[in-house]
Amino acid sequence: MKFSFSIPVPTPRLEYMIDGSKRAEACGFDSIFYADHTTMLNSPGTCYDALCFLTALAMETNKLKLCTGVSDCHRFHPALMAHKVATLDVISKGRAMLGIGAGEAMNIDFYGISRERSVLKLREYIEIIRKFWTKKRINIKSDFWGTFKNAFIQIKPIQKTPPIYVAANSPRTRKIAGELGNGWYPFVETPWTYKKNYSEVVEAAKKAGRDPSKIDYVYDCFVAIDDDDPQKAIDRCEFFKTGYILNPTKLNQAYPSLDFPEDLTIHNLLLDSEGATDLLKCIDRLPKSIHEDANCVGTTDDVIASIEKFKNAGATHLALMNRGPDSNLVYEIFREKIIPYFKDMDK
């Protein structure tokens, strides 16, 4: 079981995130995942360019792998993305990874960029990027990017192909994760939905002739620990209720009785989207246990028990957004208790 530090957007003070990354590395965390957003709806704060941000962190760390969490297949031409990630890989001495998904309206629609046939585009995007990393020249005709004639990038990554993590939250994208991904990187899961959706990735890998055990099965969620007042830790996730309802398909899968409308999701929501106000009214229908079900919160023992549930459901890697209440103490608890516990378990 691996543990990583997941940085959300909008991003708190840059210096604070650099210090947090250094502390995560010192405490035994494996990677940093940083959300690649141009904007985050109407939330105040800063959305840094993800590859620039990760490059800055590469200069301040020595071991942590560095991954977008996640980019999309629309905003950057695949040659440009291949170039960016290869550059990060060289600067970080072989620590770059790429998280990639089908995209969200908030980062794309504002700017007149097309999201048509996004799942097919995602598949081709991954294939083209790997060609740029591994071949001297590319001569192909793309369904989305035109004709590549003797195309190349004048830098190659240190790794033959930096790992690609697919943010797959639907059956079609989970199939891509199994067929092409080095990792699966979902969001808003419970242990019982993770187990089912994990099996889809595994089955897709087998059908593609791949060894499913070679895939890194990540889960991205919040962690909050308070051994004196566990409810305080649980309440640290209260702000995210809107985030849950923007993933209605996942919620309906986890709690079938909810029957939330599924036409408006994080992928197609803008502030003026029709139905956005009605969707917000669903917040009061969320199960009281949602924070504990979908995250790792409470006492240290509660967090260990939650991690075990996701591990038993197939997860090999947790990317955790540290919600405190004392963020420094959370890092120390992972160093002293949680990471050693799972290392002993895996022996």
Q: In one letter, which amino acid is 104?
A: E
What is the span of the domain harbouring residue 247?
2-346
pLDDT, averaged across the chain: 95
Query: For residue 39, which of 247, 251, 269 has the smallest C-alpha distance?
Result: 269
Name, in order, each residue with C-beta under 8 angstroms of 227's C-beta and a sequence gap of 6 or more.
Answer: 299, 300
- The string of pLDDT tens digits covering residues 266-325 is 888 776 777 777 777 889 999 999 999 999 999 999 999 999 999 999 999 999 999 999
Angstrom distances, CA of residue 182 to CA of 126, 206, 213, 292, 295: 11, 14, 10, 28, 23
Q: Give me the residue label for tokens 């959706």.
A: 197
Give the pLDDT confidence of 24-82 residue by residue, as tens digits.
999 999 999 999 999 988 788 899 999 999 999 999 999 999 999 999 999 999 999 99
Buried b (16+ CB within 10 A) or exposed e, 28-48: bbbbbbbbbbbebeeeeeebb
Q: How many domains does the chain have?
A: 1
**CATH classification of the domain holding 27:** 3.20.20.30
pTM: 0.96
Q: Which of 241, 193, 251, 185 is nearest to 36 (CA)?
A: 185
Length of the chain: 347
Per the CB < 8 A criterion, the answer to whether 101 and 170 are in contact is no
